[in-house]
């Protein structure tokens, strides 16, 4: 007997597919056993593909020579994709890479470097989806529409998320690791109302890119 379920993302259509929480493209093969899938409709499942692609390259950029999961994602997934497996990836990435001038303290032009510019809206959409997924994972229910989702990104300033009263919340948080450091998150949920939650996320062990998601009933 199969039970028809609603899509965890839109909450209205019937789920006809399974969606990975977190995006499977973040991981090297084989996918980690604790990477969960959630019931979704095809439309929602595909809606963020391009955003998730940008998000992955953004996360992995700069990590290729920092640690093993970062190195593997570049060499085993992103580089082959760029070489032709996914021809649409190249223009997508090119659209948000720009050349920046490197200026010395005295103002002299030292050269040019490539900088990845991330559209804040892309981060917003990907993290909002993750917020819904984490809630579904905790409760088996769809995040109610009147719950506010706040996302934040500490670009090179992780201490911003670790000051009081946040350090109290992180102490009681549950830590989850997927794919040996591909995704690490700390999550704290209010016992009597799981719509109130705070989650910190780190990808490829990159402490300089720390993300935070707060949900609360507005
Ligand atoms: Zn849907």
Give ion ligand 1 contacts, CB < 5 A. 7, 9-10, 13, 41, 44
Q: What's the domain range around 194?
A: 17-77+117-217
The residues pairing with 210 across neighbouring beta strands, listed in sequence order, are 154, 202
Q: How confident is the model at residue 96 (pLDDT cuts 50, 70, 90)?
A: low
CA of 15 to the centre of ligand 1 (A): 7
CA of 46 to the centre of ligand 1 (A): 10
- Position 109 in a domain: no
- Predicted pLDDT of residue 119: 78
- Position 90 in a domain: no
197-203 and 109-116: which strand pairing? unpaired
- Predicted pLDDT of residue 15: 96
Of 3 and 42, the one with more pLDDT = 42
The residues pairing with 21 across neighbouring beta strands, listed in sequence order, are 36
- Position 98 in a domain: no
pLDDT-above-90 percentage for the chain: 47
Q: Please list, in sequence order, all residues whose beta carbon lies within 8 angstroms of the beta carbon of residue 136, skipping any fewer than 6 positions away.
A: 8, 21, 38, 142, 143
pTM beyond 0.85: no
- Predicted pLDDT of residue 1: 43
- Predicted pLDDT of residue 214: 93
Mean pLDDT of 185-208: 90
Q: What is the pLDDT of residues 118-169, one digit of tens each?
A: 778 899 999 999 999 999 999 999 999 999 999 988 776 667 666 666 667 7
- Position 166 in a domain: yes
- Predicted pLDDT of residue 97: 66
17-21 and 209-217: which strand pairing? unpaired
- Position 210 in a domain: yes
CA of 152 to the centre of ligand 1 (A): 24
Q: How far apart are CA 171 and CA 151, in angstroms?
A: 20
CA of 47 to the centre of ligand 1 (A): 9
- Position 178 in a domain: yes
- Mean pLDDT (the chain, rounded): 84
Q: What is the pLDDT of residues 39-53, one digit of tens each?
A: 999 999 999 988 898
CA of 10 to the centre of ligand 1 (A): 4
Q: How confident is the model at residue 4 (pLDDT cuts 50, 70, 90)?
A: confident
- Position 209 in a domain: yes
Quote the number of domains for the chain: 1
- Position 204 in a domain: yes
CA of 146 to the centre of ligand 1 (A): 17
Distance spanning both ends of the chain, measured CA to CA: 38
pLDDT at 170 over 60: yes
Burial class of residue 132, CB neighbours in 10 A (0-12, 13-18, 19+): buried
């Amino acid at each position: 007997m199969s039970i028809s379920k609603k899509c965890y993302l839109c909450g209205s259509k019937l789920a006809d597919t399974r969606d990975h929480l977190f995006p499977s493209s973040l991981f090297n093969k084989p996918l980690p056993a604790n990477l969960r899938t959630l019931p979704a409709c095809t439309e929602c499942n595909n809606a963020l593909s391009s955003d998730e692609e940008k998000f992955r390259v953004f996360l992995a950029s700069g990590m290729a020579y920092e640690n093993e999961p970062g190195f593997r994602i570049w060499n085993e997934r992103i580089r082959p994709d760029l070489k032709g497996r996914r021809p649409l990836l190249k223009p997508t990435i090119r659209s948000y890479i720009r050349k920046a001038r490197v200026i010395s303290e005295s103002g002299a032009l030292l050269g040019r470097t490539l900088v990845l510019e991330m559209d804040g809206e892309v981060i917003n959409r990907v993290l909002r989806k993750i917020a819904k997924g984490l809630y579904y994972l905790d409760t088996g229910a769809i995040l109610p529409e009147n719950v506010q989702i706040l996302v934040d990104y500490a670009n090179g300033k992780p201490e911003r998320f670790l000051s009081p009263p946040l350090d109290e919340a992180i102490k009681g948080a549950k830590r989850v690791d997927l794919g040996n450091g591909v995704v690490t998150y700390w999550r704290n949920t209010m016992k009597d109302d799981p719509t109130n939650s705070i989650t910190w996320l780190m990808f490829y062990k990159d402490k300089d890119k720390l993300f935070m998601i707060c949900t609360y009933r507005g």
